[in-house]
């Protein structure tokens, strides 16, 4: 892969592959992952909680406790059954299965909020996916808090995202925020960590499906945030072909404590200030295939 402004070819590799059986819950590292055109990584975000008080699909932006809740499939996900039953463990509580008749009540009690657990519903069930206005109707305040900015003028430009994101909490028929694949590079993690005075930013904060390792080349270091320049380009990763769509605008979710990482508002401020609000990119699957850590990644013409 040739990245940055130099001409030396640098061979990027997949450094990590993850999926999230339940939206906003802890990631599951994979030794290999099949990806499909419609569903992204097999088994990724096949389930979600619904916040019944607000009447909307729940996520860790408003319910940060979800980030440390683990979920695992009770049997392997397959093309015929991409979202098999899950077992969910809230820290300090006994595991509960999606097949448990009292699953909703047990999760609500453990999380301190009335929630229900749902698999994907057909796209036509649009009421299930619809975004609801803030309780006070103040969308400017909602967006300022969502992105942790002082002024509405500082909210990221969301016009490049699918039109559905304004009307729906997730893309109907899925629990994806915008596109089925999210990837980030180790270069970006190092750059952001340097801005906040530490080592590389924790990859778990960004919840990608893929972490790509991009080495420096003979012509010098890779420029920061190289993946932001790939929008509109195609990547061959493993045996799949991905089309990079748009940079990923970052919100307060990356600041929350998770997986032993502390709360870090400075990280989001650095993303807003130095990376134009974005870290990582979304992608769609053009050709299905299999992804494994160590696989080469090639930026196609």
Helix spans in 38-178 (H): 103-111, 126-129, 139-147, 164-167
pLDDT at 252: 95
Q: Is the pLDDT reported for residue 279 higher than 80? A: yes
pLDDT at 40: 97
Contacts of 155 (CB under 8 A, 6+ apart): 143, 144, 146, 147, 149
Fold of 12-299: M1 Pyruvate Kinase; Domain 3 (2.40.33)
Q: Report how far residue 232's alpha carbon sits from residue 249's, in angstroms, rounded to the nearest whole number.
A: 16
CA 217 from centre of chain: 29
Q: Which pLDDT band, with edges at 50, 70 and 90, does 220 fall under?
A: low
Q: What's the mean pLDDT in 178-198?
A: 93
Paired residues of 290 in beta bridges: 34
Contact 244, 210 (CB under 8 A): no
State pTM to two decimals.
Answer: 0.93
Specify the pairing of strand 181-185 against strand 210-213.
Answer: parallel
Helix (H, G, I), strand (E, B) or coil at 141: helix
Q: Could you state, in order of their start, the residue ranges of all structural domains in the chain? A: 12-299
Which letter does DSSP use for residue 74 in this model? S
Cα–Cα–Cα angle for 154, 157, 161, rounded to 5 degrees: 150
Q: Report how far residue 201's alpha carbon sits from residue 189's, in angstroms, rounded to the nearest whole number.
A: 5
pLDDT at 219: 62
Q: Report how far residue 210's alpha carbon sits from residue 245's, in angstroms, rounded to the nearest whole number.
A: 15
Q: Which pLDDT band, with edges at 50, 70 and 90, does 197 fall under?
A: confident
* Greater pLDDT, 184 or 196: 184
Q: Is the pLDDT reported for residue 142 higher than 80? A: yes
Q: Please tell me which of 102-111, 156-165, 188-197, 267-276 the model is most confident about, judged by mean pLDDT.
A: 102-111
Strands of 109-206, DSSP E = 115-119, 181-185
Q: What's the mean pLDDT in 240-266?
A: 95
What is the dihedral angle through the alpha carbons of 224, 227, 229, 232, rounded to the nearest 10 degrees? 180
Q: Which pLDDT band, with edges at 50, 70 and 90, does 11 fall under?
A: confident
> Angle at which helices 265-274 and 186-195 pack, to 10 degrees?
110
Q: Is the pLDDT reported for residue 24 higher than 60? A: yes
Contact 161, 167 (CB under 8 A): no
Q: What's the mean pLDDT in 20-39?
A: 97
Q: Is the pLDDT reported for residue 121 higher than 90? A: yes
Q: Is the pLDDT reported for residue 73 higher than 50? A: yes
Arithmetic mean of pLDDT over the chain: 93
């Amino acid at each position: 892969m040739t990245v940055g402004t130099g001409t030396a070819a640098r061979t990027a590799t997949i450094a990590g592959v993850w999926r999230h059986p339940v939206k906003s819950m802890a990631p599951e590292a994979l030794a290999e992952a099949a990806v499909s055109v419609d569903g992204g990584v097999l088994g990724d975000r096949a389930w979600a909680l619904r916040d019944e008080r607000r009447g909307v699909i729940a996520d860790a932006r408003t319910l940060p406790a979800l980030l440390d809740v683990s979920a695992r499939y009770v049997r392997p996900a397959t093309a015929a059954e991409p979202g098999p039953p899950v077992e969910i463990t809230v820290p300090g509580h006994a595991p509960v299965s999606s097949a448990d008749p009292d699953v909703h009540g047990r999760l609500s009690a453990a999380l301190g909020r009335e929630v229900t657990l749902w698999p994907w519903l057909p796209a036509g069930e649009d009421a299930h996916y619809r975004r609801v206005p803030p309780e006070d109707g103040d969308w400017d305040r909602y967006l300022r808090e969502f992105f942790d900015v002082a002024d509405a003028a500082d909210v990221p430009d969301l016009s490049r995202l699918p039109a559905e994101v304004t009307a729906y909490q997730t893309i109907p028929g899925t629990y994806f925020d915008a596109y089925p694949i999210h990837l980030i590079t180790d270069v970006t993690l190092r750059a952001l960590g340097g801005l906040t005075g530490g080592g590389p930013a924790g990859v778990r904060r960004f919840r990608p499906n893929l972490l790509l390792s991009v080495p420096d080349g003979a012509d010098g270091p890779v420029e920061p945030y190289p993946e932001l320049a790939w929008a509109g380009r195609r990547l061959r990763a493993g045996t799949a072909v991905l089309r990079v769509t748009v940079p990923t605008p970052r919100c307060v979710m990356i600041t929350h404590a998770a997986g032993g990482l502390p709360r870090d508002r400075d990280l989001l401020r650095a993303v807003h200030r130095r990376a134009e609000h974005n870290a990582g990119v979304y992608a769609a699957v053009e050709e299905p295939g299999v992804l494994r850590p160590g696989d080469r990644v090639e930026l196609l013409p």
